[in-house]
Amino acid sequence: MRKNDERGRTLIYLDNAATTWPKPEAVYQAVDQCMRKKGANPGRSGHHMALMAGRIINETRGLIAQLFNIPEPSQVIFTSNATEALNLGIKGLLKPGDHVITGTFEHNSVARPLERMREQGIEVTKLPVSLSQGILPAQVEEAVLSNTRLIILNHASNVTGVINPIREIGKIARDKGIVFMVDAAQSAGTLPIDVQAMEIDLLAFPGHKGLLGPQGTGGLYLRENLSLVPLEEGGTGGNSEFLTQPDLCPDRYESGTLNTPGIAGLGAGINYIFQEGLEIIRRKERMLTEHLLMGLEEIPGVIIYGPPRGMERAPVVSFNITGKEPADVSFLLDKMYDIAARPGLHCAPDAHRTLGTFKHGTVRLSFGYFNTMEEVDQCLAAISAIAGE
């Protein structure tokens, strides 16, 4: 797939951990067709176009349930992104006096809501993270207190790609009656996720990253019989005679008009994943990541962070060049070599405190399904040239 930016220049896009680009052609078409031909308000009217819009919502909800092995599509709540989903889960569940277990590699979408809740009487334990194995299950078990209400962890780090042992931690949480919430920002559409086998109670996911949908989409899986305090109240398309929010899921958590064109694109992105095969996508992204790591190891002055080559990781690599600022390296990659990377803290300052890269952070390269080995080779040549300057 040819990837040209607005300047008409061929771009090597390696910032897929922030948002995937380009999208499958079917995603662009789905958004366009929805806006042109199915642009009514879903669930708000009984005419033909409104019914078609509602069908888009229901079909995409079903695709998400199928992808994550969610028992009922109604347990999928649409949000504007993973951040909203995480806030809904955290703030909708916790009460003063509760205890939360989390890690030091969490995104600010988890760390900041927890910090706000700490000010309101929530106790938070942040566990150290192994750079190769993530959070160790034994650490989690030892941290459990009598008032532990929630364990919340990312599936994979957006800084180093290290993968947490979600299945093992999920079993601990279920055995102890603790709610287990997983941030799948770097894993949805990239790593296999089965909410039942992994015993996940709340799964927050973005639509615009590995699921290949548009920005402004995301969702939250909510286990049956688990209720949250909604972030918002308002019109839900039904039960309009009552002044209180309905109890029914997902209506309870989906006030206002949904992003129907975005959800149409998200459905097309998930269909593309089913068409290509998640394992094929994973295999290609793993191959690209390993090739990059192998090349970076050969460049003098390059420091690589995260699991060593050969270990499972998300397709995310952070590095620095001795004596050079990450922002400067990223600037040169963009301006001189048309390579899109991301420098800085990646909204995960605790992770950089652990790595010793706070405050300047790292240069992050992250792959998607449409990257190629040739692009990796060009990127390695560019990094080698910058390191040698």
Q: What are phi and psi of 66, to 5 degrees?
A: -65, -45
- Average pLDDT of the residues in 281-290: 98
Whether residue 135 contacts residue 169, with contact meaning beta carbons closer than 8 Å, is answered with: yes
Domain containing 348 equals 12-16+278-387
Whether residue 133 contacts residue 165, with contact meaning beta carbons closer than 8 Å, is answered with: yes
pLDDT digit string, tens, across residues 151-162: 999 999 999 999
Domain final residue, candidates 244, 275, 306: 275
pTM of the predicted structure, to 2 decimals: 0.95
112 & 208 share domain: yes
Pull the structure tokens for residue 315: 């397709």
Any residues with CB less than 8 A from the CB of 370 and at least 6 apart, and which? 1, 3, 22
Tally of CB atoms within 10 A around 301? 14
Q: Looking at the annotation, which residues are catalytic?
A: 347
Domain final residue, candidates 217, 250, 275: 275
225 & 264 share domain: yes
Name the average pLDDT for the chain.
Answer: 95
Q: What CATH number did the domain enclosing 375 receive?
A: 3.90.1150.10
Domain membership of residue 6 (yes or no) is no
296 & 252 share domain: no
How many percent of the chain have pLDDT more than 70? Answer: 97
Please check the confidence at residue 144 and state whether its pLDDT lies above 60: yes
Domain membership of residue 35 (yes or no) is yes
Q: What CATH number did the domain enclosing 215 receive?
A: 3.40.640.10
Domain membership of residue 292 (yes or no) is yes
Domain membership of residue 317 (yes or no) is yes
Domain final residue, candidates 275, 308, 325: 275
Domain membership of residue 112 (yes or no) is yes
Domain membership of residue 41 (yes or no) is yes
d(CA 136, CA 146): 20
271 & 332 share domain: no
Residue 231 DSSP code: S
Domain membership of residue 2 (yes or no) is no
Whether residue 41 contacts residue 53, with contact meaning beta carbons closer than 8 Å, is answered with: yes
Q: Provide the number of structural domains found in the chain.
A: 2
d(CA 339, CA 353): 27
- Average pLDDT of the residues in 180-185: 98
241 & 299 share domain: no
